[in-house]
Amino acid sequence: MAPVLKTAEELEIMREAGRIVARAHEAMRSAAVPGVTTKTLDDIATSVLRDHGASPCFLGYAPGNHPPFPATITASVNDELVHGIPSETRALEEGDIIGIDVACFYQGYVGDAAVTLPIGEISGSARRLLRAAENALEAAIHASVLGNRISDVAKATAKSAGRMGYSVAREYTGHGVGTAMHEEPQVPNWWPGKRSEVRWVNYELQVGMTYAIEPMLIAGRPDLKELEDGWTVVTKDGSLTAHCEHTIAITEDGPRILTLP
């Protein structure tokens, strides 16, 4: 199925959905200090979404063999790459980094964005990793221009991360966003060589395409495993990870970020 191209009117609704997600992130950013639990951050996001007439996409989401996701946000601390489940017993500690992903439905459309936040003072190496994830996202957004393909976006992410000495997650990708949280195209963080068994459709970028780009950087080896909760993805070697994400639209004037405040 080819990517669904959005009209200017649809993009305005998606921009509003994205703005609500950005507001939830802002509210959580101010609350993300040592001692706060990941459940408290989840409660904050839940009320921001509710106050703006939006509903969480992750709550109850149960693809494949996964149990229904029980929260509004995914909260992934340190070696947890993505899909961490918020918990009343998980208090954040000084020096942690936490990846928070939020997606909402608003008037039938989705906004989806993630950030990784420092908790109190963090180490120099954690700071460098966070900056690298943001740089990789920026590079991928810059590559999201007419004339390019999805492979150019993926390569921009991988190249930016690689230059800083980090690996990227291979099993998880960005994705088209629209009336559903996951549409075509898949937007990977790397592009396989000809002999790889991995195959993604290498769409040419078109005006009206909307997708989430989400670099997932890993300080150590890119081998991952899922915990027994059926969701949380961690690095096998325990190394630190950082994840950030924006939903963007392809326009004639270049990429438009839909998930800014």
Residue 191 makes CB contacts below 8 A (sequence gap 6+) with 151, 154, 155, 158, 200
Q: Which stretch binds Mg ion (CB under 5 A): 101-109, 122-130, 165-173, 225-233?
A: 101-109
Q: Which stretch binds Mg ion (CB under 5 A): 14-22, 95-103, 169-177, 203-211?
A: 95-103
Question: Which residue, 215 or 255, is less far from Mg ion as judged by CB?
Answer: 215
Q: Among residues 200, 203, 196, 211, which one has the least CA distance to residue 249? A: 211
Q: Where are the beta strands (DSSP E) in 25-96?
A: 55-56, 73-77, 80-82
Residue type, 176: G
For residue 197, the minimal CB distance to Mg ion (Å) is 26
For residue 136, the minimal CB distance to Mg ion (Å) is 15
Binding residue count for Mg ion, defined by CB under 5 A: 4
Q: Please tell me the distance from the alpha carbon of residue 11 to that of residue 9, in angstroms, as a whole number.
A: 5
For residue 42, the minimal CB distance to Mg ion (Å) is 15
**DSSP letters for 160-188:** HHHHTT-EE-SS--EEE-SSSSSEEEEE-
Q: Among residues 246, 244, 216, 241, which one has the least CA distance to residue 97? A: 241
**Residue of the chain from 79, 80, 101, 152 that contacts Mg ion (CB under 5 A):** 101
Question: Which residue, 100 or 156, is less far from Mg ion as judged by CB?
Answer: 100
Give Cα separations from 229 to 36, 83, 111 (angstroms): 22, 10, 26
Question: Which residue, 18 or 222, is less far from Mg ion as judged by CB?
Answer: 18
Q: Among residues 132, 193, 202, 117, which one has the least CA distance to residue 165? A: 132
Determine if 80 is a binding residue for Mg ion (CB under 5 A): no
For residue 214, the minimal CB distance to Mg ion (Å) is 6
Question: Which residue, 114 or 154, is less far from Mg ion as judged by CB?
Answer: 114
Question: Which residue, 82 or 119, is less far from Mg ion as judged by CB?
Answer: 82
Q: Footprint of Mg ion on residues 103-142 (CB under 5 A)? A: 112, 114
Q: Footprint of Mg ion on residues 217-246 (CB under 5 A)? A: 245
Q: Which stretch binds Mg ion (CB under 5 A): 49-57, 96-104, 149-157, 248-256?
A: 96-104
The alpha carbon of 181 is separated from its chain's Cα centroid by a whole number of angstroms, namely 12
Question: Looking only at Cα atoms, what is the longest distance across the chain?
Answer: 50
Question: Which residue, 112 or 184, is less far from Mg ion as judged by CB?
Answer: 112
Note the residues at the interface with Mg ion (CB under 5 A). 101, 112, 114, 245
